[in-house]
Amino acid sequence: MNEAPLRVDARGERLRLLHVHAHPDDESSKGAATTARYVAEGVEVMVATCTGGERGSILNPNMDRPDVLANIAEIRRQEMDAARHILGIEQVWLGFVDSGLPEGDPLPPLPPGSFATLDVDEASIPLVQVIRRLRPHVMTTYDERGGYPHPDHVMCHRISVAAYDHAADPDWHPELGPVWQTPKLYYSFAFHLAKTEALDAAMTARGLESPYAERLRRWPPDPAMQDRVTTRVPCGDYFEVRDRALLAHATQIDPEGSWFQIPMDLQLEVWPTEDFELARTTVETHLPEDDLFTGVADRAPTR
């Protein structure tokens, strides 16, 4: 039997990737095909999940039941376990409490003690511990807007950037372990304007109803957000794994919903990558990239 392929750095160490996400299910909806590709290439992948998703809504009508609502925290942990096995990753809970998505005008205050209300430096401590223990070559998180304006996603960005810096500072909580400078930090872009427009146009050209038409009509013009993608990772061969991981989060993912309305062959033809912005790097690279480990990996996968 062939051994699994292995990607290594210049020292011959196995490559390591750390994704930081706000809630269980985010690891499957943002960059999951990239994750599955790197796992298949022998990369060690860890997901740090900030909160338990306790205040998430039930988005799958089939799961909108009193028994689920009464046990939502435990059910979401079980869903995360199932998705973790599908993706082939390790996963750690950072232990924060979901802030919920406030609604109304004016917006109500966030629940006291919830993740997004905490001091950023204090909240970064468990993530610094993860970084110093794992010693990742690459970290990913969300951009400064959280990818979308959920307070926990914005907070996830803030503690990720803080932890990226603190983990490399020998004077910052030395009891958390030996310092580690992560070579590269990326922001993931699950759905950006160019991708959404391309998929929408392709659906229309086929005479199919696009699930993105209304979203595009409401998309705010924002030139500052255009052309931020620096790195497109080819991962279409792993879209099916991504979808299985998504479906494992049954409380959050409606199998009849918009996630699954784009035919797979159209996705592979129009946008077979997942996209990222290189936010920080300590290694030399050349943009655009097609690999998060450009400048870090010593060689491609071998058997």
Asked whether the predicted pLDDT for residue 122 surpasses 80, the reply is: yes
CA separation for the pair 34, 40 (Å, rounded): 10
Residue among 229, 204, 232 nearest 216 (CA) = 204
Asked whether the predicted pLDDT for residue 300 surpasses 60, the reply is: no
Average pLDDT, the chain: 93
pLDDT, tens only, 153-195: 999 999 999 999 999 999 999 999 999 999 999 999 988 999 9
> Confidence band (pLDDT; 50, 70, 90) for 302?
very low
pLDDT, tens only, 220-251: 887 777 789 999 999 999 999 999 999 999 99
Q: How far is CA 121 from CA 67, 130, 133, 172, in A?
A: 37, 15, 18, 10
pLDDT, tens only, 82-112: 999 999 999 999 999 999 988 887 888 999 9
Could you give all domains of the chain from N- to C-terminal order, each with its CATH number? 6-191+227-264+272-302 (3.40.50.10320)
Binding-site positions for Zn(2+) read 23, 26, 153
Binding-site positions read 23, 26, 153
Residue 57 corresponds to which tokens in the numbers above? 């809504």
